[in-house]
Chains A and B, each alone.
Chain A
Amino acid sequence: MSTKVVQALYNDDDILMDAVKKVKAEHHHIEEIYCPFPVHGLDKAMGLAPTRIAITSFMYGCLGLTVAIVMMNFIMIQDWPQDIGGKPSFSYLQNMPAFVPVMFEMTVFFAAHLMVITFYMRSKLWPFKKAENPDVRTTDDHFLMEVAVHGNEDEVTALLEGTGAVEVKISEKH
């Protein structure tokens, strides 16, 4: 079944914000909004759930810390506890200060890189990915709101035209 969406183009983020509030108040479902830059407060106005990416980052950091500790405990203490310049390699704790720089860097490395990869995966971004752009102007100076249509085409079009849109068009969603 082909679904239709109404696409409304705006040329000002303030007008866009007002439009979003009006559309939400009329209980229409906003499919997507395309912006050339982050619009502060747009996610709140759309009612999007807050991101959990910071939580994943914390867990990745804990993983990195664990990797660093286990690795250095095995290499420096268990596997071959050499006397290197008089450093006490009898137990992990005794030589811990020397390991802290590695522990810190590994924590940051894991937290940062795995979080970025998580972000790419969740937002479906990769090289050679086909750009999903309904209108090229949205990367430059226009904002585009897509509202789902469920047989109430005229009503939605009229509503969006009343919100200060510079252009309203009906499009077949792929």
Chain B
Amino acid sequence: MYTFSNRLRTAAFILMIVGALGLGYGFFTAPSTVEEAKAMVADSHGGHGSGHGEEADHATPAHGDEHAEETHAQKDSHGEEAGAHGETDADKHGEHLLSQLKNKPWAALYVAAFFFMMISLGVLAFYAIQRASQAGWSPVLFRVMEGITAYLLPGAAIVFVILLLSGFHLNHLFVWMDPEVVAHDKLIQGKSSYLNVPFFLIRAVIYIAGWVAYRQFSRKFSIAQDTAADDSYFKKNFRISAGFLVFFLVSESMMSWDWIMSVDPHWFSTLFGWYVFASMFVSGITAIAMITIYLKAKGYLEHVNDSHIHDLAKFMFAISIFWTYLWFSQFMLIWYADIPEEVTYFVTRFEDYKLPFFGMLVMNFVFPLLILMNSDYKRVNWFVVMAGIVILLGHYVDVFNMIMPATVGDQWFIGIAEIGGILFFLGLFIFIVFTALTKAPLLAKRNPFIEESKHFHY
């Protein structure tokens, strides 16, 4: 049995408190009036002069109204300007800025909440695949995976609460939830039979219920198998895992449209669901590898050897490349055809998110490619941990790049609120996962493949 070390528990609480303070600071310092918002932006641009040019563009009367309107509309992800004809351009700019700055702490919260939920969902998918494919190497890691998926219920519940608050208009993350915007936006109106708040929330409940139900039953059967007289629980687990994978692929795809793609309701991409899946899958596998290495180092996983780590690192390597393949397929198809309604998605990211957008490619592709290619390095724990940290940070940036451009636009910054969000959910994740690990023995007994897994050697 694993005992949650006091130091780790304290660290988790410290992370949660520091993170909550950071998030609170983000919400506290968010502007509430147009003037405050303008003053904040003016302050941050005062020292250097970068980005000042854009602002000047909007304020200069020399520009014809039409031209100003056009540039504004391009940068605007909210479509607010559509209705307000009487106002001057500067006012509209201020309002737009205010809405972006108000979104900032919410988006920071949402990105971090989604990211950690996504890790445990990725682990759940990996776990179901291991069960359904009757893998012989992984049963010694099942309890680690089950521990990580314990975060799914609270993590998904938090994401759901954020979505609920969006539905009640407490934030402006999803512009299609704003009836003002929808009233003037033909494109969103056309999608409103899918993108409407009640249906959106019902769908969210269905996805979460499906995932959590599989997790709870699979965990129950897994523990029941420890003391069973036959393999009936194992077989049940096999069957529900296969069923879950079918449900998961559909629900995950729809979840990515709902929770991520719909922040840009004018944009669509067909392989988006796969892309988000690849991101969660590689993050989940990385989390399994890192927690396994931690527990092994503490002496809790007797039967885990470097071949298990090697296999996990191979998965990290391969799925990193798979992620890149999907990222590039999505990017290159849109870049190549250059259809205006699709390409704006990447134009905003190129212009305003250069460093995170390309930095993410280095972190998620180039680094793991070079580090994890060597078979010997995949057995060296600190190499795997180092690659894992970079991969996890890279996929945080990936989620950041998916959410931020549509919600805060060029006002993004990885500041106190964003880091606070990461720390808070990291602390919560550690607390819940390691608490769950103490609830059951770390070696699944009487699993038909456990002997093979104990002697797994590559």
Q: Are B338 and A98 in contact (CB under 8 A)?
A: no
Number of chain A interface residues as a range: under 10
Q: Are B328 and A100 in contact (CB under 8 A)?
A: yes
A163 to B2, CA, bound (A): 48
Residue among A54, A86, A97 with most chain B CB within 10 A:
A97
A112 to B253, CA, bound (A): 35
The reply on A109 being an interface residue by CB < 8 A is no
Interface residues of B in 325-363 (CB under 8 A from A): 328, 331-332, 335-336, 338
| Closest beta carbon of chain A to B421's beta carbon, Å | 32
Q: Are B332 and A86 in contact (CB under 8 A)?
A: no
The reply on A58 being an interface residue by CB < 8 A is yes
Which of B331, B338, B373, B375 meets A86, CB within 8 Å?
B338
Interface residues of A in 96-127 (CB under 8 A from B): 97-98, 100
A86 to B336, CA, bound (A): 10
Q: Can you name the residue of chain B whose Cβ is closest to the Cβ of A97?
A: B332
Q: Are A97 and B373 in contact (CB under 8 A)?
A: no
| Closest beta carbon of chain A to B357's beta carbon, Å | 13
A58 to B373, CA, bound (A): 9
Residues of A within 8 A of B335 (CB): 97
| Closest beta carbon of chain B to A92's beta carbon, Å | 15
Q: Are B336 and A97 in contact (CB under 8 A)?
A: yes
Residues of A within 8 A of B331 (CB): 97
| Closest beta carbon of chain A to B455's beta carbon, Å | 14
Residues of A within 8 A of B338 (CB): 86
| Closest beta carbon of chain A to B320's beta carbon, Å | 15
Report the interface size for chain B: residues with CB under 8 A from the other chain: 8
Residues of B within 8 A of A100 (CB): 328, 332
Q: Can you name the residue of chain B whose Cβ is closest to the Cβ of A54?
A: B375
Residues of B within 8 A of A58 (CB): 373
Residues of B within 8 A of A97 (CB): 328, 331-332, 335-336
Residues of B within 8 A of A86 (CB): 338
Encoded as 1 (CB less than 8 Å from any B CB) or 0, chain A from 72 to 109 comes to 00000000000000100000000001101000000000
Residues of A within 8 A of B328 (CB): 97, 100
Q: Can you name the residue of chain A whose Cβ is closest to the Cβ of B370?
A: A58
Residues of B within 8 A of A98 (CB): 332, 336
A86 to B373, CA, bound (A): 38
A161 to B332, CA, bound (A): 66
A54 to B331, CA, bound (A): 31
A97 to B375, CA, bound (A): 30
| Closest beta carbon of chain B to A36's beta carbon, Å | 24
Interface residues of A in 25-70 (CB under 8 A from B): 54, 58
A97 to B328, CA, bound (A): 8
| Closest beta carbon of chain A to B449's beta carbon, Å | 20
A142 to B375, CA, bound (A): 33
Q: Can you name the residue of chain A whose Cβ is closest to the Cβ of B334?
A: A97
Q: Can you name the residue of chain A whose Cβ is closest to the Cβ of B328?
A: A100
| Closest beta carbon of chain A to B457's beta carbon, Å | 10
| Closest beta carbon of chain A to B379's beta carbon, Å | 14
Encoded as 1 (CB less than 8 Å from any B CB) or 0, chain A from 119 to 161 comes to 0000000000000000000000000000000000000000000
A100 to B338, CA, bound (A): 17
| Closest beta carbon of chain B to A69's beta carbon, Å | 15
A98 to B375, CA, bound (A): 32
A100 to B332, CA, bound (A): 9
Q: Can you name the residue of chain A whose Cβ is closest to the Cβ of B338?
A: A86
| Closest beta carbon of chain B to A62's beta carbon, Å | 11
A100 to B365, CA, bound (A): 14
| Closest beta carbon of chain A to B334's beta carbon, Å | 10
A114 to B328, CA, bound (A): 27
A86 to B343, CA, bound (A): 15
A100 to B328, CA, bound (A): 9
Q: Can you name the residue of chain A whose Cβ is closest to the Cβ of B335?
A: A97
Interface residues of B in 372-394 (CB under 8 A from A): 373, 375
| Closest beta carbon of chain A to B36's beta carbon, Å | 40
Q: Can you name the residue of chain B whose Cβ is closest to the Cβ of A41?
A: B457
A97 to B335, CA, bound (A): 8
A86 to B328, CA, bound (A): 20
A58 to B336, CA, bound (A): 30
| Closest beta carbon of chain B to A61's beta carbon, Å | 10
| Closest beta carbon of chain A to B416's beta carbon, Å | 35
A100 to B361, CA, bound (A): 14
| Closest beta carbon of chain A to B323's beta carbon, Å | 15
| Closest beta carbon of chain B to A159's beta carbon, Å | 30
Residues of B within 8 A of A54 (CB): 375
Q: Can you name the residue of chain A whose Cβ is closest to the Cβ of B332?
A: A97
A156 to B335, CA, bound (A): 71
Residue among B331, B335, B375 with most chain A CB within 10 A:
B335
Interface residues of B in 151-199 (CB under 8 A from A): none
Task: Write 12 A-B pairs (CB below 8 A) sorted by A numbering.
Answer: A54-B375, A58-B373, A86-B338, A97-B328, A97-B331, A97-B332, A97-B335, A97-B336, A98-B332, A98-B336, A100-B328, A100-B332
Interface contacts beyond A97-B331, A97-B336: sample of 5 additional A-B pairs, CB < 8 Å, sorted by A: A54-B375, A58-B373, A97-B328, A98-B332, A98-B336
* B residues at A contact (CB < 8 Å): 328, 331-332, 335-336, 338, 373, 375
Closest 10 CB pairs of A and B: A97-B332, A97-B335, A98-B336, A100-B328, A100-B332, A97-B336, A97-B331, A58-B373, A86-B338, A54-B375
